[in-house]
């Protein structure tokens, strides 16, 4: 009797199915992106924070991570700010891809599209090196190669690249003591949408919504604990 699972054919079939699934995912993402390009942001969240002054944004890489005690205090400060402004976080997995997951949630209502976001950011970094090179304190090619890896933490350079690639104003409500709110604008063009993220102490990004309007997502992995 032959093996009903046929190792060789199973492997081949699995590969074909995986390739087909990836292609379908790409087509779905492309369709969603094309549809979203037609939309203009309505600024509902922006109206809540329109009275706040944002600081000039300078792209930078991560240089230091706070210790556990400082991080805890910073998170408490962030939670208080969000409550004050009527904002709530959709928790994003803390697997090293949180920046890209949060952006994917804002753009496509699905954090699982983080690989696509990272891929597009890398394309932006490669095609427009002159825009970002001066902010990277290491060999630029090494930086881009590092950022290609899944699980590599995004920084303010990748946020700027995302703002430029998706023509978006990225709005960060932060945990920093002296900086409540940061706006990251696309270079040399007007933004066609707003993306709202919370930013906790160089550690984690979540996706922001109005209180009571946080969507329910199906998460495959454990959330960031806070």
Residues catalogued as catalytic: 95, 98, 204
Q: Can you spell out the DSSP letters for 97-157?
A: -HHHHHHHHHHHS-GGGHHHHHHHHHHHHHHTHHHHGGG-SS-HHHHHHHHHSTTPPP-HH
Q: With contact defined as beta carbons under 8 Å apart, do 176 and 202 qualify?
A: no
Q: With contact defined as beta carbons under 8 Å apart, do 178 and 81 qualify?
A: no
Cα–Cα dist 33/8, whole Å: 37
């Amino acid at each position: 009797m032959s093996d009903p699972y046929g190792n060789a054919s199973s492997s081949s079939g699995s590969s074909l199915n995986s390739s087909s699934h990836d292609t379908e995912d790409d087509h779905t993402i492309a369709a969603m992106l094309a549809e979203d390009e037609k939309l203009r942001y309505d600024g509902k969240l922006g109206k809540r924070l329109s009275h706040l002054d944002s600081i000039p944004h300078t792209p930078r890489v991560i240089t230091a991570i706070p210790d556990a005690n400082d991080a805890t205090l910073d998170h408490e400060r962030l939670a208080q700010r969000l409550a004050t402004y009527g904002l709530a976080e959709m928790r994003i997995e803390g697997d090293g891809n949180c920046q890209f997951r949060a952006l994917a949630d804002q753009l496509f209502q699905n954090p699982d599209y983080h690989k696509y976001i990272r891929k597009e950011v890398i394309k932006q970094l490669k095609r427009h090196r002159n825009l970002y090179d001066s902010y990277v304190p290491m060999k630029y090619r090494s930086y881009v190669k590092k950022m290609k890896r899944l699980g590599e933490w995004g920084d303010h350079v990748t946020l700027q690249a995302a703002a430029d690639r998706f023509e978006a104003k990225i709005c960060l409500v932060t945990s920093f003591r002296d900086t409540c709110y940061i706006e990251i604008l696309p270079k040399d063009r007007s933004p066609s949408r707003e993306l709202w993220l919370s930013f906790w102490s160089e550690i984690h990004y979540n996706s922001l919504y109005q209180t009571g309007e946080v969507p329910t997502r199906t998460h495959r992995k454990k959330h960031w604990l806070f």
